[in-house]
């Protein structure tokens, strides 16, 4: 059984409120670093990233300078969550 932490409750609150902000990603990253097997957190993270990327578009083009930090942070979180081999 998973222990409910403050971060877990914040994740649920953010998901219910559809809070798709960079602050929500930061809280989510801390939660995933502690428990990378928490699939609900990964699914929520995907929604937040999709939202941020969809709002970084200008007309029909995506500004590469605005999305690079998003992808860099995603790569960092995934790497921290990978099991050591």
Q: Please, are residues 41 and 28 in contact by the beta-carbon 8 Å criterion?
A: yes
pLDDT tens digits, one per residue of 13-27: 555 567 888 888 898
CA distance 72 to 21: 16
50 pLDDT above the threshold of 60:
yes
The pLDDT score that the predictor gives to residue 14 is 56
DSSP state of 58: E
Instruction: Tell me: pLDDT of 77 over 80.
Output: yes
Average per-residue pLDDT in the chain?
79
Asked if residue 83 has pLDDT above 80, the reply is no
pLDDT tens-digit readout, 27-48: 899 989 888 988 989 999 999 9
């Amino acid at each position: 059984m998973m222990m409910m932490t403050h971060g877990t409750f914040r994740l649920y609150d953010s998901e219910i409120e559809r809070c798709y902000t960079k602050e929500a990603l930061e809280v989510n990253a801390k939660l995933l670093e502690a428990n990378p097997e928490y699939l609900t957190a990964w699914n929520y993270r995907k929604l937040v990233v999709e939202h941020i990327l969809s709002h970084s578009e200008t007309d029909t083009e995506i500004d590469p300078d605005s999305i690079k930090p998003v992808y860099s942070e995603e790569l960092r979180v995934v790497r921290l969550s990978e099991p050591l081999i």
